[in-house]
Amino acid sequence: MDYEHDDPFGGLHDDCVPTEDVVSYVLEHHLEEIEEALAESRAEEWVSESKPCLELLSIVSQNDQAQLRAALRRRLRKNPSDEAGVTEDQLFAIAGDVSAYLEQLPHAHPAVTALQKMGPDSYQRYNAPTAAGCVAFSASACTLEGDFSWAKDLLTVTRAFRDFLAVVADANLQEPFLRLHLRGPIELFNNYLHKSQAQSLVYWQGADKQLRFARCPDPQSSDLSSFLANWISEYLKDQFSYVSLGACMECGKFFARERRDKTFCSKTCQNRVAYKRKKILDSGALAAITVLPDNACDISVGIWMHHPRYGIGLIESVSSDSRPMAGLLAKFSSNPDSLIRYRSMLSRKVLLQVRFLQGIRTLSYTDLFEGQKKEEQLPTFYEVKSEETLAELL
């Protein structure tokens, strides 16, 4: 008996595909998976090429985060100038940091000059427009002379994008609150999109002598905040489904994250927040307060809370259906039985405005108490025992 050509494994499996048919088989049966993988790869490449935009947003965000932290410290120390609004000093700091970054961009200024020399009616370019070049084209008005309105615009766009990313990262946010929280950032992005003229169509020849086309801001009509709003809209329109961006809860840096619920850009930031929280709690600066779900309407302005996603923050207002809580409870103060039922109803409609280090967030009853149904960590509430100690440790 001849065993020379016998297959010791019993021959090919029935589901095996001949080598010459592999490509056609995959395209026929797994086209959607291939397209999804390609889209994700292109989105990651787009984010990598957009590094100057993320760097600019991060510079503004990190500066803003430091200012918000300082504002909370001033408020704890009852400083007369404890307003959390934007100050000239903050705008000057942002303008200085942004200008320093713009000067580091490769060939930024020659590229702007070359485009301007062609005249307003000529859009020919001989190199593909890069993100760094487009940022430089849009930054002609970003100087340290005159007012810093351009820095304030950058801060406004950055805060809106940071708030937007925080909202979409919350998988448990109910649909009415999702609409409520997205409305403001979307309207602001649209305002800046309408503020400047549409980007110009430009062309160039590649190494293969083939024509290429793209959109590029005109330095004579574009501004940096509008360019970033255009970049954000492009991300949301084309890349949002494939790559997730976030802003670090600790340092404010923008980064690409593997999961939408990831709130730190690195283990370093995550560990720093955990260390700070432990140090604050061990210091005795805060004392825990028990807040039962049916008594959520008793939460008072001025107490502090720790949220598992946003960190530590100061409660600035308590309302129900956008009406102040104190006035609603006063209506039933003379009828104890009605007041108990009404308090429970109001508690389930409670809305807290909380100033965290990243900005102000609106938290609902679901955010506060229904995490336990999903086995998530719940927010905790505190009253301040030592304002100075807490200010030092923030």
Q: Are 306 and 312 in contact (CB under 8 A)?
A: yes
* Helices and strands counted in the chain (H then E): 14, 11
Q: Which residues of 308-341 are buried (b: 16+ CB within 10 A; e: fewer)?
A: ebbbbbbbeebbbeeeebeebbeebeeeeeebee
Instruction: Give residue 24's pLDDT.
Output: 78
Q: Are 117 and 202 a contacting pair, CB within 8 Å?
A: no
Q: Which residue has the tokens 């307060």?
A: 289
Give the separation between CA 364 and CA 132, rounded to whole angstroms: 41
Distance, in Å, from the CA atom of 58 to the CA atom of 199, rounded to the nearest integer, reads 24
pLDDT tens digits in sequence order for the chain, 394 residues long: 454 555 555 555 667 877 777 777 777 777 778 777 888 888 888 888 889 999 999 999 999 988 888 888 888 887 655 455 678 888 999 999 999 998 888 654 334 434 444 444 544 555 677 888 888 878 877 888 888 899 999 999 999 999 899 888 877 667 777 787 888 899 999 999 888 777 778 787 777 888 888 888 876 777 899 999 999 999 999 989 889 999 998 899 999 988 877 888 899 998 988 888 889 888 989 999 888 888 888 888 889 988 877 888 899 888 875 555 555 555 555 555 655 666 777 788 888 888 888 778 888 887 787 755 454 567 889 999 999 998 888 8
User: What integer pLDDT is reported at residue 60 of this predicted model?
Assistant: 95
What does the domain layout of the chain look like in residue ranges? 42-257, 285-393
- What's the pLDDT at 110? 36
> With 0-12 CB in 10 A as exposed, 13-18 as middle and 19+ as buried, what is 302?
exposed
